[in-house]
Amino acid sequence: MPRLAFAWRRGYIARLEMGGGRRCTGVSGRRKRDTDIEMPKLKTKSGAKKRFGRTATGKVKRNWGHKRHLLINKSKQGKRLRRGTTTLEKGDAKLVLTYTPYLRG
């Protein structure tokens, strides 16, 4: 009998012969083993993932506001100040990281 490329030492075992099948495991879907319990995936707020990022030092990065319209009424210095990005303060960064669990790193 020819051996398959992904077969184990004993040869290929069909899924039906393994005796596994699906088990009801609740919220998280299928388990790897009976003893392993996987944590459910956390959802990121879609508005937060578009607006925030991380710097190389781990601070939370954001873009400035008030740059889109009515720019004639705004001072040249104010418009120049709002170029690029800035970092959030510590308390605000803590709140944003609750919205983006995988940005925690």
Please give the mean pLDDT across all residues of the chain. 81
Residues 6+ apart with CB under 8 A from 105: 54, 58
Give the phi and the psi of residue 44 in degrees, each rounded to 5.
-95, 140
CA 12 from chain center: how many Å?
A: 36
Q: Is residue 39 part of a domain?
A: no
Q: Is 49 helix (H, G, I), strand (E, B) or coil?
A: helix
Q: What is the DSSP letter of 37?
A: -
Higher-confidence residue of 61 and 8: namely 61
Domains identified in the chain, total number: 1
Q: Is residue 91 part of a domain?
A: yes
Where residue 56 sits, what CATH number does that domain have? 4.10.410.60
Q: Is residue 85 part of a domain?
A: yes
- For residue 19, pLDDT over 90 is answered with no
Q: What is the rounded average pLDDT of the residues 89-99? A: 95
Q: Which residue has the tokens 């609750």?
A: 98
Q: Is residue 28 part of a domain?
A: no
CA dihedral angle for residue 28, residue 31, residue 32, residue 38, rounded to 10 degrees: 40
Range of the domain at 98: 46-103
